[in-house]
Structure 1
């Protein structure tokens, strides 16, 4: 009997231990001015009557119940989270007083789960991704949870690349150790930072690389042990906070120990150091809303390839008129907008800010945000 047949015997057991941790702290400056620090993109509606965060919660409920969904976020977003999904237990919302990157966030969330269930297996999700193939998504992540629960592997779900992407890191696949639910499970042999376009094409052609989307699945006990071994400075702070998680002293402990903790992403703190990381391929229509170009690509097109994003306020949908124009994206949140005789542009008007740009240059919006910040116009970002 191979290891995966053995794992099947634990199918019902592991489901009682599945938790979902949602990281909900990003600023989303690449989709300014709709996404601003006060209310970033995960709290915006792009393609439905649900925000990206609400869509993430809906997907999380495919894996577990609401009592085992944990949110780690900036403390300034706690009220918004409660407003958007009031069913989430207050104690399951962990507010961070400052940014300390993903290693500490994931470590503290794992410690929180461990306090509830030492055998808890965690599916880590971002709050601002779009998934278009939900059945495959559910199958893939549950496969990762089952393998992680039974074999104590740290699992990365790498995204099967569809083109040469220079804006993402890559996971290098090593030896295949088996197959589960029709998907190969491979040893991870390396990580590659954002490559040149030439190197990205080589990665794509080789078939040995997956996009690194920071999709991780692991048991709470295993990842905490990995922190102890591989990132002791961060682990020391996590262990100080751990006894207070889930108690009325939680916020006090987090506020006390966060400032002295190093800022580090999970990739360099754990993933690049461990010899216990394996990867499953993700082919479930994954998209990171990393700019207006992605918003356009996923949007519903009219006959001239134009996309209109509805107003965030369903009671105030302002008219958008597009004449003799094509390939453009338009959003109006405060007043009517008309474009005439223009192609491949982005127009976003929120009342707080107005963006007009070539759609192909829209990924550079972050530079505008940086300039606004440098010039002291923080209230607009």
Structure 2
């Protein structure tokens, strides 16, 4: 088995701590080590470094090298530009096939919280056995513990075995829909961890995303020239929701994709007033807030259910119920700035 850690995302929802020049996978959010270092260390406990790879964009290669000095240089798969996980996974598969290697690979995000390394290892070994079969895609399905609207869901068939066939993928639901889903049997969170062979990825990319695969599967380095023109599409949309040979291994270990500020409450806990703070911060008559400041003294009085983050990059003040909108606001702001530059 090989593991490929995907570390090319921008982590927009963690702005202003996570910014384009140094996104969240390169930050220390869940421990003293960065998210990337924790993920790499998790797999190094039971795999040699020769079996671990990192796929990232050209922009972040130097950060990967700085944070993972143990990783061989030729184990960094470099994207010329960020194009979401669809092209990223296709490029990864092509990387191994060019080297005539077709062992099962695990494609795993770099920014997840999984404290039980042994339970993860056992689930992946189980998944690997099924992924050896022709055209089999395997994912880890996390048994849900709450009505979560930030995750996609997997509905699987009933089975007495430790692995189940996937019936369908469900997009991020409303709160009401999420409450319904978690009451249904054989329903799991989509962990975003996939286990498959490079040849399996290639087969489905050729079948469902032929134009992407054709552009990546060019001789030599010629594929790099048009990579930035590829569509931005997730691997879920590109392949998983279309393929018909998908399995899930149900897992019940503690797991979080650390996608939002509120996920840090589940990992670090809060004080007796429900506040989570990092930095020189004082509270008065304030409850259930998340506050971060990297330098400036901060006083929070009479506030509740807010996310307040102050760094040299900017200031965020957001009600917890609206944190899913952070990415949207930043994207709109970016488009406005780009439009202004073009007019100038």
Q: Same fold (TM over 0.5)?
A: yes
Could you say which residue in structure 1 is the equivalent of 2:298? 337
Q: Could you tell me how far 1:358 is from its partner in structure 2?
A: 2.7
SS at match of 2:201: helix
Could you say which residue in structure 2 is the equivalent of 1:356? 317
Could you say which residue in structure 1 is the equivalent of 2:7? 24
Task: Report 1:64-143 matches (<5 A).
Answer: 64-116=47-99, 118-143=101-126
Is 1:57 aligned to 2:40, yes or no?
A: yes
- Aligned CA distance change for structure 1 residues 377 and 44 (closer, same or farther; 3 Å): farther
- Aligned CA distance change for structure 1 residues 189 and 339 (closer, same or farther; 3 Å): same
Could you say which residue in structure 2 is the equivalent of 1:9? none
Could you say which residue in structure 1 is the equivalent of 2:256? 287
Tell me, in whole angstroms, the C-alpha distance in 1 between the residues paired with 2:338 and 2:99.
43
- Aligned CA distance change for structure 1 residues 270 and 219 (closer, same or farther; 3 Å): same
Question: Retained in 1: the 8 A contact 2:134–2:200?
Answer: no
Is 1:201 aligned to 2:179, yes or no?
A: yes
Tell me, in whole angstroms, the C-alpha distance in 2 between the residues paired with 1:261 and 1:377.
20
| Paired residues, number | 339
Could you say which residue in structure 2 is the equivalent of 1:270? 239
- Aligned CA distance change for structure 1 residues 300 and 190 (closer, same or farther; 3 Å): closer
RMSD: 2.4
Q: Could you tell me how far 1:280 is from its partner in structure 2?
A: 0.9
Question: Retained in 1: the 8 A contact 2:139–2:192?
Answer: yes
- Aligned CA distance change for structure 1 residues 106 and 327 (closer, same or farther; 3 Å): same
Tell me, in whole angstroms, the C-alpha distance in 1 between the residues paired with 2:320 and 2:148.
18
Q: Could you tell me how far 1:235 is from its partner in structure 2?
A: 2.4
Q: Could you tell me how far 1:257 is from its partner in structure 2?
A: 3.8
> Where does structure 1 lack aligned partners over 5 or more consecutive residues?
1-17, 245-251, 310-317
Task: Report 1:172-211 matches (<5 A).
Answer: 172-176=155-159, 179=161, 184-211=162-189
Normalised TM-score (structure 2): 0.89
Question: Retained in 2: the 8 A contact 1:70–1:109?
Answer: no
Question: Retained in 2: the 8 A contact 1:73–1:96?
Answer: yes
- Aligned CA distance change for structure 1 residues 326 and 73 (closer, same or farther; 3 Å): same
Q: Could you tell me how far 1:109 is from its partner in structure 2?
A: 0.8
- Aligned CA distance change for structure 1 residues 84 and 108 (closer, same or farther; 3 Å): same
Q: Could you tell me how far 1:346 is from its partner in structure 2?
A: 2.1
Cα deviation digits, residues 186-207 of structure 1 (max 9, x gap): 1112222223333333322221
Equivalent residue for 1:212, pick from 190, 196, 217 = 190
Question: Retained in 2: the 8 A contact 1:203–1:209?
Answer: yes
Question: Retained in 2: the 8 A contact 1:156–1:279?
Answer: yes
Tell me, in whole angstroms, the C-alpha distance in 2 between the residues paired with 1:352 and 1:238.
36
Tell me, in whole angstroms, the C-alpha distance in 1 between the residues paired with 2:238 and 2:313.
38
Question: Retained in 1: the 8 A contact 2:135–2:203?
Answer: no
SS at match of 1:217: strand
Q: Could you tell me how far 1:37 is from its partner in structure 2?
A: 1.1
Question: Retained in 1: the 8 A contact 2:149–2:173?
Answer: yes
Ranges of 4+ aligned residues in structure 1 off by more than 4 Å: none
Could you say which residue in structure 1 is the equivalent of 2:330? 369
Could you say which residue in structure 1 is the equivalent of 2:209? 231
Cα deviation digits, residues 135-177 of structure 1 (max 9, x gap): 322221222123323676221112212222333322221253x
SS at match of 1:106: helix
Tell me, in whole angstroms, the C-alpha distance in 1 between the residues paired with 2:328 and 2:134.
45
